[in-house]
Structure formats: structure tokens, C-alpha cells
Amino acid sequence: MNKRSNKRAKAPLGVNKSQPKRNRRSNAAKDWSLPRLLAGLHDDIQSRLETARKAFNHPGTKGDASEQVWLELFQTYLPLRYKAAKAHVVDSKGRFSEQIDVVIFDRQYSPFIFHFQGQAIVPAESVYAVFESKQSINAGEVAYAQQKVRSVRRLHRTSLPIPHAGGTFPPKTPSHIIGGLLTFESDWTPGMGSALINALDKDKTQGRLDLGCVAAHGVFGCDLKACGSVTPQSKPATAFLFELIARLQATATVPMIDVRAYAQCLTRE
């Protein structure tokens, strides 16, 4: 028969075996750092965008990889009521937007989303935000993003009265669709200076870029009065994500879509 050893197993470094296990877990929790966690989120996004920029030579492949980095960020961290995808947007009159790199739309109340040969088409009423994704920001890319945003905002959106236990609420006025541009780097020096502001200022209406991120430099945006709200950040991707979520919260819920208006398209062919 083997003799049992009377020697106690050595405790791991830094662990006092005389402490109850509950206290050890409590002490371990003290090592967590929210600033480090949030900084790590940004560092991961910036590193992946940089890899996409440097690892692929083909512009299309490079662009697809960058788009996927942003899409995965939104799909992971946005509340489940939202969905993010590359898509076209359509209205009940049969008009389509240009293809948008990132469409953030409702996944709870919108009754249908079309998929055809890998292409997603979402109804205009369900859209909360649209973003273009590019490798680097410059005047040309700002103008291009503004054009893409205009192609979505010009679409017609229906809104029906909302039934409830005591009657109906009046139709909700469709909310402003957030538009923006997401990049890794800036072609300007400084990256978030007056050249960016001047480019943003060229369209403050239908093509206005409300919010954007240059992962290597900072967060920028426009309000109803002017463009020029440029915020250099040490961890821009995380700051951008939080600001986007705050704006989505303020938007509340999309209007109740008139499905019959879309059904009328069946008689137009």
C-alpha cells in the first residue's frame, strides 16, 4: 500500500491558503481595470485595421477586411435590438440606395429583410445609421461618404399609428438617420485639423456626416449648427462606440412600417 504524503501542496504564488476561497476571488477581482479593458478594445480594433491595411495588396480585399472589422465590432457590442450589415436600403416606392458598407438597422420590429445572392436589402424605415468604411480619410472620401449617406436619407419612410391597450399612438415621425465615415488613418497633417473640418462643412444637410472615427487619431462629427466637433482621443475606437450607442439610445425605436405600402409594389411589374 502506498503511503500518503503528509506534505501539503504548495499554494500558487500570491495566494494565501489560509484565506477562504471567497476572499481569494474577491482579491482577484481587484486586479480588474475598466480603463485597461476599454483601452484593450480600442487597441484590438486599431491593430486589426492596421493588419488589414498592410497585409492585403488588392484594394477590394483590403476594403472588405476593414469593413469586416467594423461590422464585427458593432455585431459584438451593440445591444441585440440592432443589427449591422453591408446592405442596400429600399423604400416602399421601389427606390434603392447605393450599397452601404455598414447599415445599422432594427432587428426587433422590422418585419422583413431581403437576401439575394449574398446581397442584403433592408427597408428604409428600419435604418438607424449608415457608415462608409475606408482605409484613410481625405477630402475625396468625405465627399464619397456624404454621397452614400444622401442616397439613404432621400428615401421615403412610412409610419403607421401604433396600437396599444388603450387605443393608438399617432404615427411616429421618422428619426434622423445617423451618417458617418470610419477609417484607420488620415491623409492630412494634422490628422484631425482644419482640412477635415473644411471637408465636412461642404454638406451640412442631406449628406451631413454626424459621427465618424479615424482609429489612429480621434473622433469627429457634425451637429445641426456646424461641422467642426473634432475630438482627438487616445483610444478613439472605444470613444466612438460609446458615442454611437448614446446616439442610438436617443433615437429610441424606429417607426411602425406600413407593410401594405411595400405590397403595392407587386402590382407595378
How many CA atoms lie less than 13 Å away from 88 in the CB half-sphere?
A: 15
**Bridge partners of residue 115, in order along the sequence:** 120
Question: Catalytic one among 67, 91, 101, 106?
Answer: 101
Total number of residues shown for the chain: 269
For helices 34-55 and 236-251, angle between their N-to-C axes, nearest 10 degrees = 110
Spatial separation of the C-alpha atoms in residues 148 and 206, rounded to whole Å = 10
172 labelled catalytic: no
Contact (Cβ atoms closer than 8 angstroms) between residue 191 and residue 164: no
Spatial separation of the C-alpha atoms in residues 189 and 212, rounded to whole Å = 18
* Residue 130 DSSP label: E
Nearest to 134 by CA among 213, 47, 226, 250: 213
Question: Catalytic one among 67, 83, 91, 134?
Answer: 134
Using the CB atoms, write b or e for 234-262: b if 16+ within 10 Å.
ebbbbbbbebbeebbeeeeebbbbbeebb
Question: Catalytic one among 91, 125, 132, 141?
Answer: 132
Query: What strands, in cross-sheet order, belong to the sheet with 119-123?
Result: 114-116, 119-123, 82-90, 100-106, 127-137, 178-186, 211-214, 218-222, 227-232
101 labelled catalytic: yes
The residue with cell 472615427 is: 213
Q: Catalytic positions, please?
A: 101, 132, 134
